[in-house]
């Protein structure tokens, strides 16, 4: 028994030392530059590959649909990271333009868009003149092209960019409540819908205000019709066939944190307001700092389909997504504590100029998300 306790204590002390060493440079973009770029290098190696190999990197246990979704998110979040690091450090611009180009090609491949084609019964890029939503796939692709243009990419994708945004804008205006479902027969998932508004906002900024009224009207409705009455946070789910919100619909930490991040691209004042409310209702500072999945009940140990394994109330996905707003609004002290939590959970591994959390071996998309969030900056 004493031997067993000694082993446990030794492991705890070793972990504490590991975390202290791994996070010693955390503080701001300058002090973290080496770590940020080494994580970028790891992701470049793992994500920029042939499309089927990337899909196969996603755990088979989640099934083909989520493998496709996670591959899409891995590409779009790495693309956002490349835009961020270009703007933050002012270097590698041409290399990052070429890298985002490669990521766009992967997302456009038949292999990757197969998951969306399967659910909708038609190809998302071959039916842009149609009326089915495809909002998640189309919006991420448009967002990536917007990022490509933001750092100086040429006119290679201008025609597609225009067609994607025209299609999303038309379908939004045709819908009953300016929102589109991710998949047929399902509700509107607000973070998925927000990517479309982000893409239209970027397009508007880059193209003389086109679609500006759509984004303004959408945000106006979000502020006045889609807020939860208890928390005043934007709803996690909306009906796709009528106005208003689902009464009693849960406000989830993972969804809310991601929505706050996307709002920073659209309406900074509203994003800050939502971020402050996110902290009030979901931030937990005891023991380990992080964001909860549920604001109205405790969950010391459980599993959530969106958040993953919940331990001591904390949402792994919600905490990772929240780093985006924390970073964007330069809440450096909180950010440092959240990155420490990430190290406790993830454990960084270094190899030949590349770094990643060991959890990335099981969920590569999480590594891409975390890098995008910890480099969040104004575009």
| Alpha carbons 327 and 261: distance in angstroms, whole number | 10
Which pair of structure tokens corresponds to residue 340? 């420490």
Tell how far CA 352 is from the center of its chain. 27
CA 224 → CA 27, 264, 303, 343, distances in Å? 37, 18, 33, 39
- Asked if 68 contacts 116 with a C-beta cutoff of 8 angstroms, the reply is yes
The confidence score (pLDDT) of residue 49 equals 97
The confidence score (pLDDT) of residue 41 equals 98
Could you identify the residue written with the tokens 């919940």? Answer: 310
Which phi and psi angles does 358 have, rounded to 5°?
A: -60, -25
CA 285 → CA 259, 282, 308, distances in Å? 22, 10, 20
Which phi and psi angles does 134 have, rounded to 5°?
A: 55, 25
The confidence score (pLDDT) of residue 304 equals 79
The confidence score (pLDDT) of residue 261 equals 98
| Alpha carbons 356 and 195: distance in angstroms, whole number | 26
Which pLDDT tens digits describe the chain residue by residue (379 residues)? 676 555 455 544 454 564 565 676 788 899 999 999 999 999 999 999 999 999 999 999 999 999 999 999 999 999 999 999 999 999 999 999 999 999 999 999 999 999 999 999 999 999 999 999 999 999 999 999 999 999 999 999 999 999 999 999 999 999 999 999 999 999 999 999 999 999 999 999 999 999 999 999 999 999 999 999 999 999 999 998 877 777 767 899 999 999 999 999 999 999 999 999 999 999 999 888 999 999 988 877 778 777 788 888 899 999 999 999 999 999 999 999 999 999 988 888 888 889 999 887 788 999 999 999 999 999 9
- Asked if 288 contacts 344 with a C-beta cutoff of 8 angstroms, the reply is yes
What single-letter DSSP state applies at residue 314?
B
């Amino acid at each position: 028994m004493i031997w067993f306790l000694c082993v446990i204590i030794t492991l705890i002390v070793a972990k504490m030392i590991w975390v202290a060493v791994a996070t010693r440079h955390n503080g701001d973009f300058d002090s973290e530059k080496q770590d940020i770029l080494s994580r970028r290098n790891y992701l470049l190696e793992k994500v920029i590959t042939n499309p089927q190999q990337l899909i196969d990197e996603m755990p088979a246990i989640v099934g083909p649909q989520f493998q496709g979704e996670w591959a899409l998110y891995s590409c779009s979040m790495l693309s956002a990271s490349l835009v961020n690091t270009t703007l933050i450090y002012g270097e590698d611009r041409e290399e990052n333009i070429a890298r985002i180009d490669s990521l766009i090609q992967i997302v456009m491949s038949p292999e990757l868009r197969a998951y969306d084609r399967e659910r909708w019964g038609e190809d998302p890029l071959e039916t842009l003149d149609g009326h089915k939503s495809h909002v998640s796939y189309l919006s991420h692709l448009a967002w990536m092209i917007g990022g490509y243009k933001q750092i100086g990419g040429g006119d290679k994708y201008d025609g597609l960019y225009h067609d994607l945004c025209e299609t999303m804008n038309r379908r939004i205006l045709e819908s009953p409540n300016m929102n589109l479902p991710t998949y047929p027969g399902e509700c509107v998932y607000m973070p998925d819908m927000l990517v479309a508004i982000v893409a239209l906002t970027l397009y508007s900024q880059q193209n003389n205000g086109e679609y500006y009224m759509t984004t303004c009207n959408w945000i106006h409705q979000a502020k006045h019709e889609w807020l939860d009455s208890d928390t005043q946070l934007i709803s996690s789910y909306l009906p796709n066939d009528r106005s208003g919100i689902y009464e009693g619909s849960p406000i989830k930490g993972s969804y809310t944190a991601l929505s706050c991040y996307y709002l920073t691209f659209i309406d900074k004042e509203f994003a800050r307001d939502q971020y402050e409310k996110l902290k009030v209702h979901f931030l937990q500072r005891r023991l380990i700092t992080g964001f909860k999945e549920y604001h109205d009940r405790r969950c010391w140990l459980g599993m959530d389909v969106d958040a993953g394994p919940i331990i001591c109330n904390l949402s792994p996905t919600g905490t990772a997504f929240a780093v985006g707003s924390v970073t964007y609004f330069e809440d450096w002290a909180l950010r440092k504590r959240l990155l420490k939590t990430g190290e406790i959970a993830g454990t960084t591994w270094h190899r030949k100029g590349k770094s990643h959390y060991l959890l990335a071996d099981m969920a590569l998309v999480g590594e891409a998300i975390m890098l995008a969030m910890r480099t969040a900056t104004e575009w």
